Structure 1
């Protein structure tokens, strides 16, 4: 998965290929947006007119769907995406405090990326790890029983990967 904007001709071809592969599906917009984000790490601004043309929608309609669903990012994420579970089971065992700690520790809010580009922080509603909350998803890995101290260790590990 590439995390840059599709600015090159090759990226434009990749984008068009993803759009074409999904254009004939019933309700094609959401599957198309998921596929684009899977391919590029986000739904770049350059994709909006391509999608709109393909599905005979206005750019505003496409943009509206992208911004309505918090899952879709319009900018490349940090090197790591950290999601804090906000479902009730996790909240009952400390997720509210963990969320506040995460925002303070990283100096960002949900849907933002740290200045060093290391971490994008997002909220998620249930990771299916309810018995061992509070839980995080770090990229594709789910971690349970995350305390503020464990959060600090995880972030230190993620940042160390860059300098190693």
Structure 2
């Protein structure tokens, strides 16, 4: 697992101040915090609740409802496997099973070395090239088990070279 980094609550507070007056401010605020930190730390929940004049339970409910919000820091790389209909029809379930087995994690988990967080995503807009995955910011189409393994080897090779 990645080592815990100190949480920059000053940055979180600044983000909250920037977004607090927006209509429907909770989602933009939470997205901005995750964009800055990579995840939503528990310490941010009471700050968001107070600034938006809602209960901590309401903030927690939003975090629970929307699966894209992370509660723990992600790995150095985020791998998302599309679970939409087209990708499922073209072998997405087999690719999911292969990825989980190869990485030794389930969705929303990070490899023991902190390198990869595996996440489901519900459409990458790459339906013509199903099954699709996103590795960090790069979308890859027609990904087979061998293709997945090659992408993971490339990631690990780039990390070793760095």
TM-score, length-normalised on structure 1? 0.93
Partner deviation per Cα, 1:62-117 (whole Å, 9 max, x = no partner)? 11211211100011100010000011111111111101100111111100000010
Distance 1:56 1:161 in 2: 45
Aligned residues of 1:6 and 1:46 also touching (Cα < 8 A) = no
Runs of 4+ in 1 over 2 A off after TM superposition: 3-7
Q: Which runs of no fewer than 5 residues in structure 1 stay unpaired?
A: none
- Number of equivalent positions: 159
SS of the residue corresponding to residue 83 of structure 1 reads strand
Residue of structure 2 equivalent to 1:95: 92
Residue of structure 1 equivalent to 2:128: 131
Partner deviation per Cα, 1:109-143 (whole Å, 9 max, x = no partner)? 10000001010001111111011111001111100
Residue of structure 1 equivalent to 2:145: 148
Distance 1:159 1:68 in 2: 33
Aligned residues of 1:6 and 1:15 also touching (Cα < 8 A) = no
Q: Give the CA deviation at 1:5.
A: 4.7
Q: Which runs of no fewer than 5 residues in structure 2 stay unpaired?
A: none
Q: Structure 1 residue 113 and structure 2 residue 99: aligned?
A: no
Q: Give the CA deviation at 1:49.
A: 1.0
Residue of structure 2 equivalent to 1:44: 41
- Out of 105, 119, 127, which is 1:122 matched to? 119
Distance 1:125 1:13 in 2: 33
- Out of 67, 71, 85, which is 1:70 matched to? 67
Q: Give the CA deviation at 1:162.
A: 2.1
Distance 1:64 1:5 in 2: 25
Change (3 A) 1:37 1:72: same
